[in-house]
Structure 1
Amino acid sequence: MKTTTRPCVLVFAGHDPSGGAGIQADIEAIAAQGAHALPVITALTVQDNDHVYAVHAVDVQIILQQAMTLIARIPVSVVKLGIVAHKKNATAIANFIQKMKQQHPDLQVIVDPVLGSGHGDSLSLDDAVEAIQPLLKVATLITPNLPELKRLSPLAADMRAQVENLMQACEADILLKGGHATEVQVKNIWFQHGQWQTAKEWLWPRLPGEFHGSGCTLASAIAGQLATGAGLPEALQKAQSYTQQSLQHAYAIAAGQLIPARQSVSNTRKKS
């Protein structure tokens, strides 16, 4: 029997007990790209598929012990970051990643700046924008949606100025997600660092309904694609296509937001 090897993505993210977002979404999306997730849980949340009711941070030393144990033995070329609960955790994780970069200068770091749930519930124990700043400093790609971009650049007059301000504060590309706009098609825009005046755009049909974990799905799919050797342009294209397909086949677990179908299944029941 021949043993296969899968590339690994180190993931720092929170646990969502509804299974729609957070670490479960990361694991499923990364696996679907042919990579393997190394999940380090940063927070335990109390939430369902619609609302967040509480966030409990994992002790920073436990987070770091897990991460150090993993990279001591397992090759990692990509890190994906979701919620970290507060600035203390963010600072420690950012310092850890900075040390990884010293050993691996080509390390890719994907930051999904989750500043709140889809319905605006807080996912941080302190100011979410302030807490995420250390992670933005080590990112190579940031994937904000339109409301998140506005919160990260509150003084900018328009979207282009918001992008420029964010790029001046970090050394990362930006994939701006248009899911919160109102146009018939969703427009996602890739701004390369230092070249914000020019950008590549993708248009996707806007699907009916609301989805729980779509941002986690996309960011993790990008990370998985990068881990398997895709360049960033290819990773962005394939990850968006995969996410769109996941949303097209989304399913319900209760009233409210739908769950992206990150793994194809044949036994999902339809309501009569």
Structure 2
Amino acid sequence: MKTKTRPCVLVFAGHDPSGGAGIQADIEAIAAQGAHALPVITALTVQDNDHAYAVHAVDVQIILQQAMTLVAKMPVKVIKLGIVAHKKNATAIASFIQKMKQQHADLHIIVDPVLGSGHGDSLSLDDAVQAIEPLLKVATLITPNLPELKRLSSQAGDIQTQVANLMQSTGADVLLKGGHATEVQVKNIWFQHGQWHTAQEWQWPRLPGEFHGSGCTLASAIAGQLAIGVTLPEALQNAQSYTQQSLQHAYAIAAGQLIPARQPISNTRKKS
């Protein structure tokens, strides 16, 4: 019997003990796309499905040792990044990625710029915006929500102005998530680098309730799609559709935010 092979996504992210966000969300969403996650934990957090209470950074040498060991043996064409705890970790990971990009010009770097929990709790040991800056400079796609875009751009004005300001310091595309708006439809907008005056939009029905880990799910689904060889436009479409279905089938583990059901779409069924 022929052994099946799955493409790998290298993931740098924090561990969420509630299992809703962070590295567990990444692993589940990537696997659901038909790829395999190589998870390198950058931080241990103390949180539940609503609030984050503490962040404990993993030593940078441990992070780098794990990453170097993995890429020395396993082909990696996609890297997904979540929280990294502080700027020291971010700088070291960015340097590691820069070296990888010198050998793999087509490397996709997906950065989910998590600046805090859904309720605004800090997930960084120093200034969250400054901490993530080194990673933004190596990104090929950044996936901020509306509050994150405003903080990252440090620019007043409309969305296009904020995106343009963010792009000035990066070479990345931006997928802006509209979950924090108030319209009936959630509008996500893809700005290609240097082309913020023209963009592609998707609209999705706004679902009732709040969700823990929806951003991780989307960014990791995009990474998984790219790993299996899908083009970026298709990856953005497929990952959003997958995330929407994950939210439609979300479940509760306690009072508060719901957990996205990150099964493969073909295995997701409504209860009768």
| Matched residue type, 2:140 | T
Distance in 2, matches of 1:268 and 1:114, equals 31
- Percentage of pairs with the same residue: 86
| Matched residue type, 1:109 | I
Report what 1:18 is aligned to. 18
Distance in 1, matches of 2:209 and 2:67, equals 37
| Matched residue type, 1:224 | G
- Alignment of 1:222 onto 2:222: yes
5+ residue gaps, structure 1: none
Length-normalised TM-score, structure 2: 0.97
Q: Secondary structure at the match of 1:72?
A: helix
Report what 1:245 is aligned to. 245
Distance in 1, matches of 2:245 and 2:269, equals 17
Give 1:154 deviation, angstroms. 2.1
Comparing 155-164 with 22-31, greater Cα deviation is found at 155-164
* Change in 2 beyond 3 A, CA 1:91/1:20: same
Q: Secondary structure at the match of 2:55?
A: strand
- Alignment of 1:146 onto 2:158: no
What whole-Å deviation, never above 9, does each CA across 1:165-216 have from its counterpart, x for those lacking one? 0011100000000000000000000000011100000000000000000000
- Alignment of 1:95 onto 2:95: yes
Distance in 2, matches of 1:87 and 1:199, equals 31
Superposed counterparts of 1:16-95, under 5 Å: 16-95=16-95
| Matched residue type, 1:227 | A
Aligned length: 270
What whole-Å deviation, never above 9, does each CA across 1:91-126 have from its counterpart, x for those lacking one? 000000000000101100000000000000000000
5+ residue gaps, structure 2: none
Distance in 1, matches of 2:271 and 2:184, equals 29
Distance in 2, matches of 1:253 and 1:74, equals 35
Report what 2:174 is aligned to. 174
Distance in 1, matches of 2:153 and 2:98, equals 24
Contact 2:60–2:92 under 8 Å retained in 1: yes
Distance in 2, matches of 1:252 and 1:187, equals 25
Comparing 146-155 with 81-90, greater Cα deviation is found at 146-155
RMSD of aligned residue pairs (Cα, Å):
1.4
| Matched residue type, 1:94 | A
What whole-Å deviation, never above 9, does each CA across 1:17-44 have from its counterpart, x for those lacking one? 0000000000000000000000000000
Q: Secondary structure at the match of 1:259?
A: coil
Length-normalised TM-score, structure 1: 0.97
Contact 2:81–2:111 under 8 Å retained in 1: yes
Q: Secondary structure at the match of 2:73?
A: coil
* Change in 2 beyond 3 A, CA 1:269/1:15: farther
Distance in 2, matches of 1:30 and 1:211, equals 18
Distance in 1, matches of 2:34 and 2:223, equals 11
Q: Secondary structure at the match of 1:92?
A: helix
What whole-Å deviation, never above 9, does each CA across 1:212-252 have from its counterpart, x for those lacking one? 00000000000000000000000000000000000000000
* Change in 2 beyond 3 A, CA 1:266/1:78: closer
